[in-house]
Amino acid sequence: MRLLIMGAPGAGKGTQAALIKEEYKIAHISTGDMFRAAIKNQTPTGIEAKGYIDKGQLVPDSTTIKLVKERLMEEDCKNGFLLDGFPRNTAQAEALDEMLKEVGIKLDAVVNVDVADEFLIDRITGRRTCLACGASFHVTSKKPLKEGICDICGAELVQRKDDCEETIKSRLQVYHGQTAPVIEYFSKQGIVKNIPGVGDINEIFANIKKALGDL
């Protein structure tokens, strides 16, 4: 299965992406996680990306598209993949279509996790992330078993620098201005599945599975 998951920052797309990856046994490609790993390893991509990420802006398309193109060529993507956080604007969406066309494949569905803005700020400021494995928790709604420690890999949980209140405003602006039109773009291809993203994590996931069931 070849999927894309979309949603505003804090909509819970990372959480649902982890469940989808597990259920369908497909490669999870999160551009945000890839950039954070690049920053941690101080690679040239990481050094370039850091300034943009810290301000809540998009990393330039040329860098991002190259990163995704290389990742999609890897062996584990042959069984299918879940793109998370890419494309973030219509130029990236067109580049993705082009990349897939070159290798003769198509996206099966775009899962859009839909959450109103009023819920997003609390969700993002309360989020705690494991920089080792990318898992995310929340201080009230998805507490780790041991405070400050990742349930999955045991590393320390931190608040992402771009999850602070000032940066969120700019990320939401970027989302509404540049990323929401990507949903329109894929709607025209008839592959968007809109899933309400408020409520119990497992119920949201059950709705995603139901929507993908007939593929």
Q: Which residues bind ligand AMP (CB under 6 A)?
A: 9, 31-32, 35, 52-53, 56-59, 64, 85-86, 88, 92, 162, 171
Q: Which of 2, 71, 88, 128 is catalytic?
A: 88
Pairing of strands 81-84, 192-196: unpaired
Q: Is 127 a catalytic residue?
A: yes
Sheet containing strand 27-30, strands side by side:
27-30, 81-84, 2-7, 109-114, 192-196
What is the rounded distance in angstroms from the CA atom of residue 140 to the CA atom of residue 129? Answer: 14
Our CB check for ligand AMP shows the closer of 66 and 210 to be 66
Alpha carbons 103 and 2: distance in angstroms, whole number: 13
Nearer to ligand AMP, 46 or 80 (CB): 46
User: Which residue, 152 or 206, has its beta carbon nearer to ligand AMP?
Assistant: 152
- Rounded distance, CA 74 to CA 119, Å? 36
Say whether 2 is catalytic.
no
Residue showing the smallest CB distance to ligand AMP in the complex? 32
Catalytic residue set = 13, 88, 127, 160, 171
